[in-house]
Amino acid sequence: MLKHRGFPGRLTGTDFQFTLRRANPKGVTPITRRERKRDRKPADRRADAGFMKALWEQFGEQPFERGNLDAGRLCWLFGREVIPATDDFDPEDYEALLVIDPNIARASFPESMGEV
């Protein structure tokens, strides 16, 4: 499992986790699309925005390996702002490649994307 050096481990001042310390010995948590409802708590929305900002600052428009990025956090963005980078994407593989869709990410998180 690739560890993304320099990537924040969590949202500052909260318990919202962004990365894993080690691979799950029971198996890889699959990445699935979770629907974001309008009534989500403000703290959850801030965590999504913070994670999106960290992804953008670390990877930009370049494909990146899932590695030690938290699956739960990725699931909130998957299928919209973060999409598979390859046709043979395996949602249960730490080496799976993902990429940010900048147009959708800017529309969803304009404050996190900065000026691009």
Classified as helix, coil or strand, 65 is strand
Residues 6+ apart with CB under 8 A from 104: 80, 81
Would you state the pLDDT for residue 25? Answer: 76
Compute CA 92 distance to the chain's CA centroid, rounded to the nearest angstrom: 15
SS (H, E, C) 11-25: CCCCCCECECCCCCC
**Domain boundaries along the sequence of the chain:** 65-116
User: Tell me: the pLDDT tens digits for 7-46?
Assistant: 999 888 888 999 988 877 788 899 999 998 888 899 899 9
43-66 pLDDT tens trace: 899 999 999 999 999 999 999 999
Query: How many other C-beta atoms can be found within 10 angstroms of the C-beta atom of residue 46?
Result: 14
Instruction: Summarize the confidence of residues 81-94 as an average pLDDT.
Output: 94
